[in-house]
Amino acid sequence: MRIDHGSGSGSARTRPLIRDPSAARTIGLVALTVAALLGSAYALGRSLVPEPPTSRSNVTTSATGPHYADQPPADDAPRRTPTGDPGTAPASDPGTAPTEAGQDGGAGPDGAPQPGPADGPFGTQTTSGTSLVALTFDDGPDPQFTPQVLALLRAYQVRATFCVVGENAQRHPDLVRAIASDGHTLCNHSWNHDVTLGRRSPAAIRTDLLRTSDAIRAAVPDAPITYYRQPGGAWTGQVVSVAQELGMTPLHWTVDPSDWERPGAGRIAATVVAGVVPGSVVLLHDAGGDRQGTVDALHRILPDLTSRFEVEALPDGVT
């Protein structure tokens, strides 16, 4: 800086070192350039971080095996609603299944489903068709959770319907035999829980469903497989038609506690207990992720429902 001595004052005054405006602008441009370069480097680093691996069937794997129900549907697949599962259309859409008993679409004036159960998406079955309440368990069998579910059902003398994934049936034929020996109904749930299966060709859908049924019958040769449930509830006319051609009833549901989201045993139990009416089909999971919350919820669900309803497996041989 330069020091000017004022006359008669004896004091020193300072002046700025940079007096040229063009120099100040140059320094500002340099600072902006450095900031831009730093931002570009950060973005490049983010782009180099790999995304978690996914598969065409929307199934992820871990050290404990495939996880199905925890996974959201593909971007172009039907989305799960707050009260329903993937594939449950808005209430104003044609072919919509009720997400809770007592809503439009098959519920009578007393809140119980009407006798005709084929009122779900694309004519799928959503109720038992009678006053019976049906518990259904998807995505298994699983060596950790399926035996716990079977033990609880046995303790309360309840038979249920198990929607079995083909690759899991192939891995755990002993559990398929345990399900069948306890008198539960078996349901085809596709080979590897492909939520996009319904958009494939009829020939591809047929191959998938037959492969799954073959895996089930490899464990239980004479097992009747009367029902098919589409993964994620992502029904299409094609998958419904193929299932029916193979002698299986397309099975949807009435009550969904969204246990796949692991909301906790208390919330799962409260949703089921409050939502069930005569004829309800309840969607639960014994595999596809951590299902301990569902198992724990059964300690409340089973005594409550059996005290108010007849809880039974969906009948074999009825289409």
Dihedral (CA of 107, 108, 113, 119) sign: negative
At residue 30, the pLDDT reads 56
d(CA 5, CA 302): 97
Say yes or no to pLDDT of 63 above 70: no
- On whether both 124 and 199 belong to a single domain, the answer is yes
Say yes or no to pLDDT of 152 above 90: yes
- On whether both 283 and 177 belong to a single domain, the answer is yes
H/E element, 301: helix 292-308
- On whether both 42 and 147 belong to a single domain, the answer is no
At residue 66, the pLDDT reads 72
- On whether both 72 and 38 belong to a single domain, the answer is no
DSSP symbols for 120-176: SGGG-B-B-SSS-BEEEEEEE--TTTHHHHHHHHHHTT---EEEE-HHHHHH-HHHH
Tally of helices (H runs) and strands (E runs) in the chain:
8, 10
Contact call for residues 249 and 228 (beta carbons, < 8 A):
yes
- Average pLDDT on 237-246 reads 98
- On whether both 29 and 118 belong to a single domain, the answer is no
Cα distance between the two ends of the chain:
96
- Average pLDDT on 137-144 reads 98
| Domain assignment present for 190 | yes
Number of domains in the chain: 2
| Domain assignment present for 315 | no
| Domain assignment present for 203 | yes
Rg, C-alpha atoms of the chain: 30
At residue 126, the pLDDT reads 96
- On whether both 184 and 252 belong to a single domain, the answer is yes
Say yes or no to pLDDT of 78 above 70: no
- Positions marked catalytic: 138, 285
- On whether both 26 and 148 belong to a single domain, the answer is no
- Average pLDDT on 238-259 reads 98
- Residue 140: phi and psi, rounded to 5, are -85, -165
Answer yes or no: pTM beyond 0.75. no
Q: Going along 81-179, which residue ranges are E strands?
A: 134-140, 161-164
- On whether both 208 and 135 belong to a single domain, the answer is yes
- How confident is the model over 158-173, as pLDDT tens digits? 999 999 999 999 999 9
- How confident is the model over 180-205, as pLDDT tens digits? 999 999 999 999 999 999 999 999 99
Name the residue range of residue 14's domain. Answer: 3-47
